[in-house]
């Protein structure tokens, strides 16, 4: 009975902390899940009972066909992050993903999927996933992961990952050019530093944008690990 009461109190607290969000709790190493908030039907077009009885594969089947493979790679990337970060600091990170998902048997919409990890009393890693509809706020552009970390003035984005079709690794020269860009050097200055032509630098920069699928210089610098 105490477990039931604790669970009810916990659910009420979660709904107060995240009003309007659909909240999913993942546990048992990610093999089990339950929707904590009672508003899943409005977002996904399925009742909470239906959502809680679905297997993970059933939930992933709701994702737009074009977004499933990149979203799968992003989930792998998040799992890798979660196991690399110090458990004492994992609660400071937020992993935000945007992709398209189907509402019931209707149309697809742009979903904000925000994952927050924490260590439970038994020392095991669990996570809360917060969902909301982004369709009214912005058009869907691409499947993307943004990683944020708590700082004194709030959350700050520390990296962006955009899965590309080829997932081509950067060459040593491209990595070298990225480092010089981070130092604030212009293409002309990079060419002088590396004893190459400015056209070669421009070609490398073009390849960097293509490989990382970056839309601008901020995207490019965020997409490459520090």
**What's the pLDDT score for residue 2?**
33
Pairwise CA distance, residues 100 & 188, whole Å:
41
180 phi, psi to nearest 5 deg: -70, -35
Q: What is the pLDDT of residues 59-116, one digit of tens each?
A: 888 999 989 988 988 998 898 888 889 999 999 999 999 999 999 888 999 999 999 9
Per-residue pLDDT at 167 exceeds 60: no
Out of 3.30.420.40, 2.40.50.140, 1.10.10.10, 3.40.50.720, which CATH number does the structure's domain 172-223 have? 1.10.10.10
Pairwise CA distance, residues 201 & 186, whole Å:
10
Q: Which two tokens stand for residue 37?
A: 């908030």
Pairwise CA distance, residues 164 & 186, whole Å:
27
Q: What is the pLDDT of residues 109-148, one digit of tens each?
A: 999 999 999 998 888 889 999 999 998 888 888 899 999 9
Alpha helices (runs of H) in the chain, residue ranges in sequence order: 2-17, 40-44, 48-53, 56-60, 65-84, 172-182, 187-194, 198-212, 217-223
What distances in angstroms separate CA 194 from CA 56, 67, 150, 188, 201, one per listed residue? 50, 39, 37, 10, 9
Q: What is the pLDDT of residues 205-218, one digit of tens each?
A: 988 887 777 778 88
Structural domain boundaries in the chain: 2-161, 172-223
Fold (CATH) for 2-161:
Beta-Lactamase (3.30.450)
């Amino acid at each position: 009975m105490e477990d039931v009461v604790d669970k009810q109190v916990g659910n009420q607290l979660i709904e107060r902390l995240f009003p309007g969000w659909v909240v999913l709790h993942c546990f048992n190493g990610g093999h089990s899940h339950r929707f904590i908030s009672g508003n899943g039907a409005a977002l996904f077009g399925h009742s909470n009972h239906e959502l809680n009885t679905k297997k993970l594969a059933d939930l992933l089947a709701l994702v737009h066909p074009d977004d499933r493979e990149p979203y799968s790679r992003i989930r792998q990337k998040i799992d890798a992050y979660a196991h690399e970060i110090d458990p004492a600091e994992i609660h400071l990170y937020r992993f935000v993903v945007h992709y398209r998902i189907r509402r019931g048997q209707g149309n697809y919409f742009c979903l904000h999927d925000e994952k927050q990890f924490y260590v439970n009393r038994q020392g095991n890693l669990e996570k809360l996933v917060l969902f909301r509809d982004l369709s009214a706020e912005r058009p869907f552009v691409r499947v993307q992961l943004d990683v944020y970390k708590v700082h004194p003035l709030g959350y700050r984005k520390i990296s962006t990952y955009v899965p590309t079709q080829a997932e081509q690794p950067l060459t040593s020269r491209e990595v070298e050019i990225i480092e010089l860009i981070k130092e604030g050097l212009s293409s002309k200055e990079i060419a002088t530093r590396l004893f190459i032509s400015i056209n070669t630098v421009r070609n490398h920069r073009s390849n960097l944008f293509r490989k990382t699928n970056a839309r601008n210089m901020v995207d490019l610098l965020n997409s490459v690990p520090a």
